Amino acid sequence: MSNQTNILANIAAIQARIDAACQLYQRDTPPTLMAVTKTRNAAEITAAIDAGITDIGENYLQEALSKQAELSTQPEYWHFIGPIQTNKTRAIASHFDWVHSVDRAKIITRLNDQRPNELPPLNICLQININDESSKAGATIDDIPALAELVNSQARLRLRGLMAIPANTSDIQQQRRNFAALRGILTSLQKQFPSAAIDTLSMGMSGDMESAIAEGATIVRIGSDIFGPRPTPKP
């Protein structure tokens, strides 16, 4: 079986898992399935797009830009989901539709100032370090109201919601507690900014997708269950 065939079958299987979880947890609107394509090549991205994927997520800017240039068919939406260095904000603001990994003020003002005028406002999710892990990016929960206020005040940005990568655990109850906490913070943001269209919980990866759907994920970010395991993780 070719890799293309695997990707097609894997995506169909994930869609079936999403449908089953939506039925189980009584979700009327299924989350968007984002294919996370770090370390994957342009042909693999093309196979995912051919299988119906509209949203592609990338972690590393240079890698993303070279694949974007190589692709003959672009997805509907490019999402940047990796750590953001200050000197990368101009290219990120120019080449992506969404940024999920925003966690500090300097990045917010730079993305706004550098978002090209001919493009629509850049969709922003604030990343929360929900389990306070020193190894992970993300703002603290206490930082979120001020960061949200700043995003909301920028003309070239649109505050959409929250993203998190919780501590890796196979304990379903612990997974759900983390995602429920994120949902609670989103609800407070919706109260803080009643006129903003804050509608996004970017949560759930291959190992915890169902728990995220149970707690209201609107975008799930799936890599290895679509493309297979990543043999050589990047530093």
Ligand X SMILES: *Cc1c(COP(=O)(O)O)cnc(C)c1O
DSSP H or E segment with residue 1: none
**Of the two residues 154 and 166, which places its CB atom closer to ligand X in the complex?**
166
Q: How many other β-carbons are positioned within 10 Å of the β-carbon of residue 124?
A: 26
- Report d(CA 184, CA 178) in Å as an integer: 10
**Of the two residues 104 and 156, which places its CB atom closer to ligand X in the complex?**
104
Q: Smallest distance, Å, CB 179 to ligand X?
A: 14
Residue least distant from ligand X (Cβ): 223
Q: Smallest distance, Å, CB 153 to ligand X?
A: 26
Q: Give me the residues that bind ligand X (CB under 6 A), please.
A: 36, 38, 59, 81, 165, 205-207, 221-225
Q: 26 CB contacts (<8 Å, ≥6 apart)?
A: none
Integer-rounded Cα Rg, in Å, for the chain is 17
* β partners of residue 57: 36, 79
Q: Smallest distance, Å, CB 164 to ligand X?
A: 9
Question: φ, ψ for residue 141 (rounded to 5)?
Answer: -60, -40
**Of the two residues 10 and 46, which places its CB atom closer to ligand X in the complex?**
10
Q: Smallest distance, Å, CB 165 to ligand X?
A: 5
Alpha carbon distances (Å) from 110 to 17, 93, 141? 39, 9, 22
Q: Smallest distance, Å, CB 227 to ligand X?
A: 8
- Report d(CA 217, CA 230) in Å as an integer: 24
**Of the two residues 137 and 196, which places its CB atom closer to ligand X in the complex?**
137
**Of the two residues 161 and 223, which places its CB atom closer to ligand X in the complex?**
223
